[in-house]
């Protein structure tokens, strides 16, 4: 046989990416096969959230971290946020008054004298650690924590980070990306310091990052990414310009990021990762409240009471008699009138300071477009470490980052079928025992709902 014929008949070489993907699928499917072959009693045990072990793991990390964490020295406000937010999702708070005071005092020492928070005391203020510090203090709650935030100086820091393109720089001389837009706008919104100067041209920058796939990249010309896509969508929602995004194309990209494993991948053709349970899954409760905008872009009239297809979505048949069924109109929709795609929003309808609270009141015209039950299975069966903590995928190790965002994604899945975040989920919406239920979050900020309301009331009482 000629050499050319030998080459043509040979099996194609497996790429490194294909090999890794098949290995992950094999690990996950072995877990699922074991689960499906188990008795009902054993299945219930396997799906149980190891709440007490997670709380012990988190409290231990809050008190003292091993020396290996010195590599995260510039991320200490993030470690605070990942831990205290995870505890809050589990219905717990810092159980020691001195430890709570120490956390507040530490974050205060991370606050720069000219505004913003650094990764540690004396470090350069940075938008990412500012977001983490503010969310940590909101999650701790109480007057001492909330009043420790110097909003006037923080506003000046945000304004200094503003660049000509409309976006924000992460720090002095730092990168300009969608993550910077979200962290700046989220902080400004929740602290009631957002104004037209901060918002100016932010929408234009985010729109320039939507790719041909439909997702949002970190910067113009880059690849669509799950974290940046959530950040871009949430940013546009917070400045009331989300109708400018091509939402049907965004949805098309997003739904195909949930893989055969049940979890989400962050980018096309990448491995599944537990943290995207929130960074991708967290976009769906935002989209639920944008049904009127999606329908408008699709050319569907609201009087038709129809929307994009939900074929294959893991939902029961909801009828008018179902106590959790909701119609297609609400009081919130009566004062929300989005303009067409590409136009500037009319902010006179909803003030910048009220968008976070108003967003919760919007009617959820779109049912969940993710497979929430299988995502819960992936989190509970493939990411949960029985001894406490959660991880990226099988064979990986637990850490506080993945614990935070796996639990955040689990909360999203549990509450996404409820007609409002104030109503408890029905039992069928929760995989495993009902004791798995986590606290609901505000989908725009990823802080638990009760703490958001406390902060909103606190900061609404005073203007800068």
Among candidate residues 106, 124, 107, 121, the one with its CA nearest the CA of residue 161: 124
With b for 16 or more beta-carbon neighbours within 10 A and e for fewer, the 415-431 pattern comes to bbbbbebeeebeeebbb
Determine the Cα angle at 227 with ends 132 and 212, to 5°: 150
CB of 251 closer than 8 Å to CB of 297: no
The C-alpha atoms of residue 362 and residue 319 are separated, in whole angstroms, by 20
What's the sign of the alpha-carbon dihedral 339, 281, 300, 419?
negative
Transcribe 24-62 into DSSP letters: HHHHHHHHHHHHHTS-HHHHHHHT---HHHHHHHHHHHH
Alpha-carbon dihedral sign for residues 77, 78, 79, 81: positive
Query: Alpha helix locations (H) across 113-269?
Result: 127-140, 143-147, 151-161, 178-190, 196-199, 202-207, 226-238, 247-255
Helix and strand counts by DSSP (H, E) for the chain: 22, 2
Asked whether 146 and 459 are in contact (CB, 8 A), the reply is yes
In contact, 160 and 124? CB cutoff 8 Å: no
What span, in angstroms and rounded, lies between the C-alpha atoms of 259 and 143?
44
User: What residues act catalytically?
Assistant: 225, 267, 270, 273, 275-276, 392, 399, 402
Label the pairing between strands 441-442 and 447-448: antiparallel
Which DSSP helix (H) or strand (E) runs through 441? strand 441-442
Q: Rounded CA gap, 313 and 371, in Å?
A: 6
Residues β-bridged to residue 176: 169
Question: Do 75 and 129 meet the contact criterion of CB atoms below 8 Å apart?
Answer: yes
Mapped onto helix, strand or coil, the DSSP state of residue 225 is coil
């Amino acid at each position: 046989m000629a050499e050319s014929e030998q080459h043509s008949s040979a099996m194609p070489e497996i790429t490194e990416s294909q090999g890794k993907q098949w290995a992950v699928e094999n690990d996950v499917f072995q877990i699922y096969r074991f689960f499906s072959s188990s008795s009902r009693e054993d299945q219930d045990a396997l799906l149980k959230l190891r709440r007490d072990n997670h709380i012990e793991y988190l409290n231990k990390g809050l008190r003292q971290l091993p020396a290996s964490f010195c590599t995260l020295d510039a991320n200490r406000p993030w470690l605070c946020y990942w831990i205290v937010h995870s505890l809050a999702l589990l219905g717990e708070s810092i159980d020691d008054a001195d430890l709570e005071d120490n956390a507040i005092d530490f974050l205060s020492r991370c606050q720069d004298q000219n505004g913003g928070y650094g990764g540690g005391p004396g470090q350069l203020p940075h938008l990412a650690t500012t977001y983490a510090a503010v969310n940590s203090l909101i999650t701790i709650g109480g007057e001492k924590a909330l009043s420790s935030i110097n909003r006037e100086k923080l506003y000046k820091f945000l304004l200094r980070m503003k660049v000509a393109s409309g976006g924000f720089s992460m720090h002095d001389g730092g990168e300009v990306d969608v993550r910077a837009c979200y962290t700046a706008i989220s902080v400004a919104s929740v602290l009631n310091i957002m104004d037209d100067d901060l918002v100016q041209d932010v929408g234009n920058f985010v729109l320039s990052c939507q790719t041909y796939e439909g997702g949002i990249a970190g910067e113009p010309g880059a690849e669509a990414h799950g974290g940046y896509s959530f950040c871009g969508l949430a940013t546009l929602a917070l400045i009331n310009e989300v109708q400018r995004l091509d939402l049907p194309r965004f949805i098309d990209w997003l739904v195909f990021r949930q893989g055969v494993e049940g979890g989400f991948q962050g980018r096309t053709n990448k491995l599944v990762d537990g943290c995207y349970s929130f960074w991708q899954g967290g976009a769906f409760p935002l989209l639920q409240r944008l049904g009127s905008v999606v329908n408008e872009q699709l050319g569907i009239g609201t009087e038709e009471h129809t929307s994009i297809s939900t074929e294959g979505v893991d939902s029961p048949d909801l009828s008018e008699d179902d106590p959790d069924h909701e119609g297609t109109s609400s009081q919130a929709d009566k004062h929300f009138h989005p303009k067409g795609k590409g136009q500037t929003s009319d902010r006179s309808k909803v003030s910048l300071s009220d968008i976070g609270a108003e967003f919760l009141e919007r009617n959820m015209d779109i049912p969940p477009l993710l497979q929430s039950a299988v995502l819960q299975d992936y989190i509970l069966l493939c990411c949960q470490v029985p001894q406490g903590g959660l991880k990226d995928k099988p064979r990986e190790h637990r850490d506080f980052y993945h614990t935070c965002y796996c639990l955040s994604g689990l909360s999203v899945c549990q509450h996404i079928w409820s007609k409002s975040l104030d109503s408890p989920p029905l039992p069928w919406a929760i995989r495993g025992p009902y004791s798995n239920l986590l606290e609901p979050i505000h989908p725009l900020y990823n802080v638990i709902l009760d703490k958001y309301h406390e902060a909103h009331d606190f900061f609404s009482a005073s203007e800068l």
